[in-house]
Amino acid sequence: MKFKSLKKGLAAVVSAATIATCTVGNLFTPVTAAGDANYAEALAMSLYFFDANECGTEVDDNCLTWRGNCHTYDAEASLDNATGLSAASKSAIMAQNGGKNTVDVSGGYHDAGDHIKFNKTMGFAMTSLAWSYYSHPNAYDSSKSTDHLKHILKKNADYLMKVTYLDGNDVLAFCYLVGDEGADHGEWTPPETQKMTRNTYWADSSHPDGCTAGYMSSCLAATSIVFKDSNPDYAKECLKYANALEAFAKKYPKPASDGYGSMYQNSNSADDEIAFAELWCAIANNGGTLPSSYNPTYKCIGNGQYTGGIYDYYMYTWDKAWCGYATLLAECGYDTSTYENEMKFELNNQGGCPTDKYNANGWGASRYNCSLQMMSIALAKGDANSNYAKGAKYQMDYILGNNSFGMSFLLGYGDKWPVRIHHRAANPDNSTLKYTPYGTLVGGPDSSGNYEDNSERYQFTEPALDYNGSFALACAGLVDLYGGDASALDSVIAAAPEIDENYKFGDGNVTPPQPTTEPTTEPSTEPITTEPTTEPDKVTYDVDNNGSINVADLVLVQKYLIKKCQVEQREAYTTTGEYVWATYYYIDGKEYVNLNLDLYKDNKINVFDAVVLKRYLIYNK
């Protein structure tokens, strides 16, 4: 792993295990949560989860200081370890690769707190992200996160196209899974250090996977719509693959089972993913609008029933697309009353979005709750005073901290969140978070109102791609309905050692907000814009000048950084009667004079002062 800057090198120290009662979350987060949540801030923050789950040879260059390149050997995956390829498909792939017996399946995104890569969950999550922009572009523009969104969508689309081999306009084969459930789940180590064998699983005409092909197609079609104006050539390439995968799924609809394991197994039917792919491709091929001539292969006939004897009784998820299909058709104005009635049926069947009780249903309940919010928001039709809108708002406010736990289940949002989550990269010691993975949505409370902050209780504390994809769909709609102020995130990014505040997304046409310059008469509390290249050899760490260096000194730095103190300068006299100006600090009702806060000796007071002190306390005590 290479280090882009000193800040990256020190991030591990800043976010190291808890010292006394001080946690990283409390130290570096000056935001407040709850009642009326800031949806624009939450939406923009949620995108950072995808950066936390990035895999491959370019992770060093993403916006997070604590993640590094991982599973780089996926770039030389042996076809001898490929399951599902016929001899003919293997030969054709080797021919396209100059006779090599290896293929490049590096990149993409880890599925959850583990490090398996599933095209199906990537397809679902990124379809949801692209859809959230398609339906609510103003939400991203107003929260200044459009470039970040496109950055994520492009990395995902690049991966899906790279692992899909075409023969002209037809799919020859595609890798749908990298890694193995048993081996991966059995090793709790950060992805950067893992060297386990990662087998690959493939689909071709002799071993198809219609479910995954459908979601990959939806994802690439929806992504092409997002890029159709800003990068039309790239959009065209995405759509080429989307159309090929849709045709493959229709021709070979059988779901695959190899490699999925007990937790990820496909359903018995790919009809819903195929219907969704058909709809997204129809919209994308018509420049972003549903053609008036569109005649869907699958039609709803009411109460969860579709033509062909298909029954649906579940919300929009990584393995169930019907509710998403019905919602998108209604949004596009196709037989609106039929599909709105279908949405209402499905919503009521799952307990809806009440305004007086959180609806927690299933394993990792927050994701399902967000899918229900998505339908409620669509049914609200822009009316913030409708019961549908109010219900979605109540549910999201609960997730973001307006609950009996006083805790936000979107990490980094608010002033309290889970710290023992099931995520090997952020929690490599399987204890308390070493790094705060900002924007990560965990499962949260169950249907009984119970929650356990325990990394081994996956249903409560594990995040996944589909969780954050569903969150974006709901939260973007709430930004449109109720607004928000994403500038609140600027100070979080500037203060968080886990995020490079100078990072530029996309083509670099948007520059992240820069710290303001503080008056020279007072010390600056903002992070420095030009980082020192070397650390001073000698630093005095005694903040309160009382002769000892301990956690009390760190607490004083913390409280200064989050502005939980008052500072003033006034005249004073030394013990020898000399007249001087002194700086007085009032913290927790106690007065301090001339605190030694510039521990880094760079003539600024900022996050690096806490960094060096925390490192001293960890390694010198």
For residue 491, CA distances in Å to 486, 487, 497, 513, 526 come to 10, 8, 12, 9, 8
Instruction: Say whether pLDDT at 61 is over 90.
Output: yes
At 559, give phi and psi (nearest 5°): -65, -35
Residues 521-543: what's their mean pLDDT? 49
- Which tens digits make up the pLDDT trace of 174-210? 999 999 988 998 999 999 999 999 999 999 999 999 9
Listed range (10-24, 55-69, 260-274, 500-514) with the worst mean pLDDT: 10-24
Return the structure tokens found at 364: 């990792």
Q: Of 100, 107, 108, which is closest to residue 80 (Cα–Cα)?
A: 100
For residues 597 and 321, what is the distance between their CA atoms, to the nearest angstrom? 55
Element (H, E) at 593: strand 590-593
More confident residue, 263 or 402: 402
> What's the pTM value of the predicted model, to 2 decimals?
0.79
Other C-beta atoms within 10 Å of 503: how many?
19
More confident residue, 400 or 533: 400
For residue 248, CA distances in Å to 127, 173, 419, 459, 581 come to 18, 10, 43, 34, 77
What was the pLDDT predicted at 16? 36
Q: Of 149, 163, 142, 158, which is closest to residue 85 (Cα–Cα)?
A: 163
Length of the chain: 621
Mean pLDDT estimate for the chain: 86
More confident residue, 548 or 236: 236
For residue 408, CA distances in Å to 482, 558, 613 come to 19, 21, 29
Percent of the chain with pLDDT over 70: 84
What was the pLDDT predicted at 56? 97
Percent of the chain with pLDDT over 90: 71
DSSP letter assigned to residue 466 = H
Residues 414-439: what's their mean pLDDT? 96
Other C-beta atoms within 10 Å of 144: how many?
17
Residue 20 near residue 551 (C-beta atoms within 8 A): yes
Return the structure tokens found at 81: 């370890």
Q: Of 152, 113, 112, which is closest to residue 132 (Cα–Cα)?
A: 152
Q: How confident is the model at residue 616 (pLDDT cuts 50, 70, 90)?
A: confident
Return the structure tokens found at 421: 């989550």
What was the pLDDT predicted at 526? 41
Domains of the chain: 1-30+515-621 (no CATH), 31-495 (1.50.10.10)
Instruction: Say whether pLDDT at 530 is over 70.
Output: no
Q: How confident is the model at residue 610 (pLDDT cuts 50, 70, 90)?
A: confident
Q: How confident is the model at residue 477 (pLDDT cuts 50, 70, 90)?
A: very high
What was the pLDDT predicted at 388? 98
- Which tens digits make up the pLDDT trace of 136-177? 999 999 999 999 999 999 999 999 999 999 999 999 999 999
More confident residue, 9 or 579: 579
Q: Are strands 566-573 and 579-587 parallel, antiparallel or unpaired?
A: antiparallel
Instruction: Say whether pLDDT at 528 is over 50.
Output: no
What was the pLDDT predicted at 74? 97
Element (H, E) at 422: none
What was the pLDDT predicted at 531? 43
Instruction: Say whether pLDDT at 401 is over 50.
Output: yes
What was the pLDDT predicted at 596? 85
Instruction: Say whether pLDDT at 9 is over 50.
Output: no
For residue 507, CA distances in Å to 2, 304, 338 come to 23, 44, 42
Instruction: Say whether pLDDT at 529 is over 90.
Output: no
More confident residue, 613 or 576: 613
Residue 572 near residue 582 (C-beta atoms within 8 A): yes
- Which tens digits make up the pLDDT trace of 411-423? 999 999 999 999 9
For residues 355 and 216, what is the distance between their CA atoms, to the nearest angstrom? 35
Other C-beta atoms within 10 Å of 356: how many?
6
What was the pLDDT predicted at 598? 84
Residue written as token pair 């859809």: 131
Q: Of 418, 348, 364, 492, which is closest to residue 40 (Cα–Cα)?
A: 492
